[in-house]
């Protein structure tokens, strides 16, 4: 089993009663309620490798929550299954809908592929027997039974995505009345999850004595001067984790938690927050009505609520703006013309708020001057010869890459440096994935393939399809393979066309369909450049007479000849055998 860490945060915030709306309402006499936290850190395992940072992560998180946010904190270190479940049961029985709960877990975790279920591993967990493991179903059952109003699960673990549903949280962005949306969002009873990754391993350490995820979480919470919504916290945390570790955080609602009422979000409220922020907003609101409040005036609940809604509106709009900017930037890179980069700069760089302005201006100047994108050392050492978007001449075959340990390490350093310089470049992501795959770090490789594939990078789409076909770094799933191969084939990527032809022609994982296979293989064999493996497979199909067809040795000889001319040793062997016979 891989050494992995799990960090789970469940936290709740409460809302004051608003006008009548669907779903249960909070009590009107308390705006935020009481905040509680159970903080768990496990380092000293009996049957698994010891961890380095879990207890330190838990200790600092507990301190931040207690001092900065006013939580009542209970701490467990090196906890057994009984310790954890007993404490969860106590909280389940004692908390009401006026309470807020945060549970932070740092320790080992495990994914059961067959059951599609993740586990927390207490310090007494046995490798061979699951009796002392705590499944995500156990945790979800506790959330379901809890009366706490809002619960958010933030999981820093390998395979932590098993706790969430697919997709993004529902924010109902299409509503025209944004304040009405925010009222409903604040009113809903919710079980959400913010995870450090989907179904990939994460890092124990790498963040100044903390995990990369915990380090970012602590820094954001410690230094926030204002309230934080879950969306705002996620928007700040996600890029920081992705730039420092091979993992991509997610944000969604908890699977099977019994809460099916979308539209809410969470707020972290620092000590004394609303006194200054809300008082200023309330003064402004009151002055418009001609009645000015002094600093010592007691704020009404309605005035406080309006100030909170105003802040949530800013948070919501910030998240939507950041998502739109990232989409525009990805599109500009995909198109690669001066006009595309000019569009991004005009939209986001006038006020200096764009995240990619310096890089966009450089790319704009290069496009206008006819200067091609500079070739990095990552390109020189890790480019794929079959990648149609590579910029380095020739490229490096995978066998050559894997057969040179020193060169492989050099390529890894070069690609990590290139990602830091240009973190949204899908070509660099894909090439780094190639390096990791050659090092047999298949989970990390799959992560970077998926990121590049998300940019419609065709070689990465094929690579992640191949990973699913072989079960390397991701779950073995022929359906997922066919989906990714299909996306790459739509853009005439020859390796994907060839593999689809082979799978359909031989009936591997799919129903045999020789005509369909022939179509895929012919497109690849006649492509630019022609794919020699497709030519070889066409020769085999004609020689053997598949799908009820009579053998056609003349056609087979033609295709073998083309494949042999392109350097296929197997095609040369087949030609020699045909000549002998």
Contact assessment for residue 205 and residue 53, using Cβ atoms and an 8 Å cutoff: yes
Q: How many CB atoms lie within 10 A of CB 555?
A: 14
How far is CA 421 from its chain centroid?
Answer: 20
3-state secondary structure of 512: coil
**Sign (positive or negative) of CA dihedral 135, 137, 142, 148:** positive
Cis, peptide link before residue 529, omega less than 30° from 0:
yes
The structural domains of the chain, with segments of one domain joined by +, span: 6-271, 276-369, 492-581
Of the CA atoms within 13 Å of residue 270, those in its CB half-sphere come to 16
Torsion of CA 270, 66, 81, 136, to 10 degrees: 0
Instruction: For domain 492-581, give the CATH superfamily.
Output: Tetratricopeptide repeat domain (1.25.40.10)
- Rounded Cα distance, 169 and 156, in Å: 19
Tokens of 234: 């996620």
Tokens of 161: 């995505």
- Rounded Cα distance, 383 and 101, in Å: 49
- Count of residues for the chain? 581
Contact assessment for residue 170 and residue 231, using Cβ atoms and an 8 Å cutoff: no
Contact assessment for residue 556 and residue 578, using Cβ atoms and an 8 Å cutoff: yes
Q: How many CB atoms lie within 10 A of CB 471?
A: 13
Tokens of 290: 């001609």
- Rounded Cα distance, 142 and 137, in Å: 9
Q: Do domains 6-271 and 492-581 have the same CATH topology?
A: no
Burial 69-78 (b: 16+ CB within 10 A, else e): bbbebebbbb
Cβ neighbours of residue 63 closer than 8 Å, sequence gap 6 or more: none
**Sign (positive or negative) of CA dihedral 115, 116, 122, 125:** positive
Residue listed under structure tokens 């940019």: 455
Cβ neighbours of residue 497 closer than 8 Å, sequence gap 6 or more: 489, 520, 521, 523, 524, 527, 531, 534
Q: Name the helix (H) or strand (E) containing 364.
A: helix 357-369
Q: Taking Cα atoms as reference points, which of 89, 88, 59 lies closest to residue 75?
A: 59
User: What is the Rg, in whole angstroms, of the alpha carbon atoms belonging to the chain?
Assistant: 28
Cβ neighbours of residue 304 closer than 8 Å, sequence gap 6 or more: 16, 31, 274, 278, 282
**CA distances for 450 relative to 105, 123, 295, 447, 473, angstroms:** 27, 33, 53, 5, 11
Tokens of 410: 């050099």
- Rounded Cα distance, 11 and 150, in Å: 7
Q: Taking Cα atoms as reference points, which of 282, 313, 303, 307 lies closest to residue 180?
A: 313
**Tens digit of pLDDT for each residue in 521-574?**
999 998 878 899 999 999 998 998 876 778 899 999 999 999 999 888 999 999
Report which DSSP code applies to 26: -
3-state secondary structure of 150: strand
Q: Taking Cα atoms as reference points, which of 316, 151, 310 lies closest to residue 235?
A: 316
CATH architecture of 6-271: 3-Layer(aba) Sandwich (3.40)
Q: Determine if the pTM surpasses 0.85.
A: no
State phi, psi for 360 to the nearest 5 degrees.
Answer: -65, -40
Contact assessment for residue 515 and residue 536, using Cβ atoms and an 8 Å cutoff: no
- Rounded Cα distance, 187 and 190, in Å: 9
* pLDDT by residue, tens only, the chain of 581 residues: 333 333 333 333 332 222 223 333 333 334 567 888 999 998 898 888 888 888 998 899 999 999 998 898 999 999 999 999 999 899 888 988 878 888 888 888 887 766 667 888 899 988 888 888 988 888 888 888 888 888 887 777 654 555 554 444 443 333 334 345 445 555 677 777 787 765 554 555 555 678 888 888 998 898 887 777 777 788 788 777 776 666 677 777 776 656 655 566 777 888 876 544 444 443 443 343 333 334 333 444 455 445 544 544 554 455 556 666 777 777 777 677 788 788 888 888 876 667 778 778 777 877 776 666 788 999 999 999 999 888 888 889 888 888 889 999 999 999 999 998 888 889 999 999 999 999 999 989 999 999 899 888 999 999 999 999 999 988 888 888 998 999 899 888 999 999 999 998 888 888 888 888 899 999 999 887 889 999 999 999 899 887 677 889 999 999 999 999 988 899 999 999 888 87
- Rounded Cα distance, 284 and 402, in Å: 65
Residue listed under structure tokens 């061979």: 128
Tokens of 123: 């310090």
Q: How many CB atoms lie within 10 A of CB 556?
A: 21
- Rounded Cα distance, 289 and 304, in Å: 16
């Amino acid at each position: 089993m891989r050494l992995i860490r799990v960090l789970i945060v469940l936290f709740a915030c409460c809302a004051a009663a608003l006008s009548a709306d669907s779903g249960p309402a909070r009590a009107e006499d308390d705006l935020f309620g009481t905040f509680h936290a159970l903080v768990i850190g496990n380092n000293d395992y009996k049957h698994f490798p010891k961890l380095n940072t879990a207890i330190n992560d838990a200790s600092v998180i507990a301190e931040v929550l207690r001092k900065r946010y006013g939580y009542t904190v209970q701490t467990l270190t090196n906890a057994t299954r009984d310790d954890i479940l007993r404490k969860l049961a106590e909280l389940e029985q004692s908390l009401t809908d006026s309470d807020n709960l945060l549970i932070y877990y740092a320790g080992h975790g495990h994914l059961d592929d067959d059951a599609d279920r993740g586990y927390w591993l207490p310090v007494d967990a046995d490798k061979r027997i699951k009796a002392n493991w705590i499944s995500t179903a156990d945790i979800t059952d506790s959330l379901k039974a809890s009366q706490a109003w809002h619960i958010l699960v933030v999981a820093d673990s390998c395979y932590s995505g098993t706790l969430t549903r697919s997709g993004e949280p529902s924010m109902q962005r299409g509503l025209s009345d944004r304040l009405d949306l925010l009222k409903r969002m604040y009113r809903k009873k919710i079980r959400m999850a913010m995870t450090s990754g989907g179904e990939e391993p994460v890092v124990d350490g790498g963040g100044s004595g903390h995990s990369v995820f915990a380090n970012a979480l602590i820094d954001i919470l410690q230094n926030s001067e204002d309230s934080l919504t879950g969306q705002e916290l996620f928007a700040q945390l996600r890029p920081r984790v992705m730039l420092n570790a091979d993992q991509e955080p997610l944000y969604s609602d908890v699977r099977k938690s019994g809460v099916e009422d979308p539209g809410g979000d969470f707020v972290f409220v620092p000590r004394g927050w609303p006194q200054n922020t809300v008082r200023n907003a309330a003064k402004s609101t009151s002055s418009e009505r001609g009645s000015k409040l002094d600093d010592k005036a007691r704020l009404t609940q309605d005035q406080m609520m309006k100030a909170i809604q105003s802040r949530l509106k800013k948070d919501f709009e910030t998240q939507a703006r950041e998502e739109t900017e990232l989409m525009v930037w990805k599109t500009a890179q995909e198109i690669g013309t001066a006009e595309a980069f000019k569009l991004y700069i005009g939209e986001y760089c006038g006020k200096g708020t764009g995240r990619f302005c310096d890089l966009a201006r450089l790319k704009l100047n290069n496009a206008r001057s006819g200067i091609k994108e500079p070739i990095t050392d990552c390109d020189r050492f890790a480019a794929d010869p079959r990648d149609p978007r590579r910029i380095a001449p020739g490229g490096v075959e995978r066998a050559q890459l894997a057969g040179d340990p020193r060169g492989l390490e050099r390529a890894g350093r070069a690609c990590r440096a290139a990602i830091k310089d240009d973190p949204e470049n899908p070509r660099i992501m894909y090439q780094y994935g190639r390096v990791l795959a050659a090092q047999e770090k298949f989970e990390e490789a799959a992560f970077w393939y998926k990121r590049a594939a998300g940019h419609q990078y065709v070689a990465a789409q094929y690579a992640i399809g191949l990973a699913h076909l072989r079960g390397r770094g991701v779950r073995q799933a022929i359906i997922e393979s066919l989906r990714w191969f299909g996306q790459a084939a739509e853009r005439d990527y020859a390796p994907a066309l060839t593999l689809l032809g082979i799978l359909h022609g031989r009936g591997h994982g799919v129903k045999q369909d020789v005509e369909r296979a022939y179509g895929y293989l012919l497109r690849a064999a006649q492509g630019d450049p022609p794919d020699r493996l497709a030519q070889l497979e066409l020769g085999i199909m004609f020689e053997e007479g598949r799908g009820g067809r009579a053998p056609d040795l003349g056609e087979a000889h033609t295709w073998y000849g083309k494949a042999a001319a392109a350097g296929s040793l197997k095609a040369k062997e087949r030609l020699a055998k045909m000549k002998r016979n």
